[in-house]
Amino acid sequence: MSHEAGVKTGKEKLIYMANQIASFFETMKREEAVEGVADHINKFWEPRMRRQLFEIIDRGGDGLKPLVLEAAAHIKRPQEARA
């Protein structure tokens, strides 16, 4: 069974969601935008999602808007998942 065109993988969906959040805050002053992105992700993303986001960031952040990358310093990094 093949994937339909336009269906996003888990990684692509996280990148899309993070970029959508950044798009919402882009019209604000830079400092407010950075804090807004980080605050939203901290409040509404479960640790598993934040862990996956940091995996993307740690691999270079390909596909993420610069505002997401800047906000990463303010996003709570969850503990590593136990094996």
| pLDDT 10s digits, 40-59 | 999 999 999 999 999 999 99
Q: Is residue 14 part of a domain?
A: no
Residue keyed to tokens 């019209």: 27
Q: Is residue 38 part of a domain?
A: no
Q: Is residue 24 part of a domain?
A: no
Neighbours of 5 (CB within 10 A): 5
pLDDT per position as a tens digit, 25-37: 999 999 999 999 9
Q: Is residue 15 part of a domain?
A: no
Q: Is residue 19 part of a domain?
A: no
Query: Rounded to an integer, what distance in angstroms lies between the CA atom of residue 41 and that of residue 50?
Result: 8
Q: Is residue 80 part of a domain?
A: yes
Q: What is the pTM (predicted TM-score) of this model? A: 0.85
Q: Is residue 60 part of a domain?
A: yes
Q: Is residue 23 part of a domain?
A: no
Query: Rounded to an integer, what distance in angstroms lies between the CA atom of residue 10 and that of residue 17?
Result: 11
For residue 56, give its domain range: 45-83
Domain count, the chain: 1
